[in-house]
Amino acid sequence: MNQKNCMNLKNSMNLKKKISQYDRMAQDDRMDENLKYNAWLNAVKTNQPMLSDPEGLMRNIMSDIQSAQVKKSSKKIEKIWKMVASASAVAAMFLLCLFVYEIDLHPNSELNTAVSTDQFDDSALKQRFAAFSDECSNNKESSVKLKKCILKRWQEQREVQAQKKMQLLEKRYSYN
């Protein structure tokens, strides 16, 4: 209780001391409105607020900015990851579209046409096969020899097709 009383007493003394200059000026009956205003303003200006525990405030600020910096850099990384993910998604979509375009929508490219025409030219194949068969059967060889003959001609045909394909590819790359 004594301590509290003492504190209150100190409070009131300090308060009186602090605004005594302002009080003296303000209590003057002759003081006009402007002077009152100026006196008050002057008191506000001259009494600077005092920062208690400035070092504590400094410590808090520094610890706050360090944690804010960690958050900031993690946000940056997150942002970069998002950008990479978006770019990957766009690239994947582009490749998918290109794939669909090449396979389904536009299969008649120069190479495909040449290969597919050659592959599915049934009449030509049939004629050739008939020719091989006649040739082989005319020789009146055994069935094993006949098979070997047909296989040999088929392999020759495959080689011719592979050569054609290579020529087409070379042609295409030489244009590019």
Partner 1 sequence: MIHEEQIKTIIQRCRKNDYSAFALLVEQHRDMIFRLVFRMICDEEEAKDITQDVFVKIWLSLDSYNGDYRFSTWIYRIACNACYDFLRSQRHIRASSFVDLSDSDVKLSSGEDIEQVLDNKALVELILRYTEELTPKQKMVFMLRDVEELEVKEVQEITGLSAEKIKSNLYQARKQIRLKMEKDGEVVV
Cα–Cα distance for residue pair 54/47, rounded to 1 Å: 18
Nearest approach in angstroms of CB 67 to partner 1 is 9
C-beta neighbour count of 15 within 10 angstroms? 10
Nearest approach in angstroms of CB 69 to partner 1 is 6
Cα–Cα distance for residue pair 40/19, rounded to 1 Å: 10
Q: Within 12-71, which residues bind partner 1 (CB under 8 A)?
A: 12, 14-15, 18-19, 22-23, 26-27, 33, 36-37, 39-41, 43-45, 47-54, 57-58, 60-62, 64-66, 68-69
Rounded alpha-carbon distances, angstroms, from residue 3 to 7, 12, 18, 75? 6, 14, 22, 53
Judged by beta carbon, residue 53 or residue 104, the one nearer partner 1 is 53
- Burial label, 103 (beta-carbon count in 10 A; 0-12, 13-18, 19+): exposed
| Residues within the interface to partner 1 (CB under 8 A) | 4, 7-8, 10-12, 14-15, 18-19, 22-23, 26-27, 33, 36-37, 39-41, 43-45, 47-54, 57-58, 60-62, 64-66, 68-69, 72
